[in-house]
Amino acid sequence: QVQLVESGGGSVQPGQSLRLSCAASGSTYTSIYMAWFRQAPGKDREGVATIHLSSGTTVYADSVKGRFTISQDNTKNTLYLQMNSLKPEDTAMYYCAANPSPFARPLWLVAGSFRYWGQGTQVTVS
């Protein structure tokens, strides 16, 4: 089992930045991928960014490329999402996810590919 706790959300104005954190505990050594997803009211959960933990390979949704950066601190078992140049359309609940099994790259931003989820942290841009 892996437990994930997100933090760092808040309310900001367009153009500002936020950094989200996801603290992982439990059987963290089994995780292969970690990711950030978001869900706005009335919309499906969408993948934002995924990182393959051992290689550091990342993938981003087109809507956040060049603005968001996913990173990891293995010493702290923590995942980060640096969000710059925030837009009102970035407003959503942001979730951290992890998975212990490998899957094909086209699935890296698919919510159903991930087993473990945090409770989310709200980001509001207005």
Structural contact between residues 81 and 48, judged by C-beta atoms closer than 8 angstroms? yes
pLDDT of 11 above 90: yes
pLDDT, one tens digit per residue, over 75-126 is 878 999 999 999 999 999 999 999 988 888 888 999 999 999 999 999 999 9
pLDDT, one tens digit per residue, over 65-75 is 999 999 999 88
Task: Report d(CA 9, CA 19) in Å as an integer.
Answer: 8
pLDDT the model gives residue 123: 98
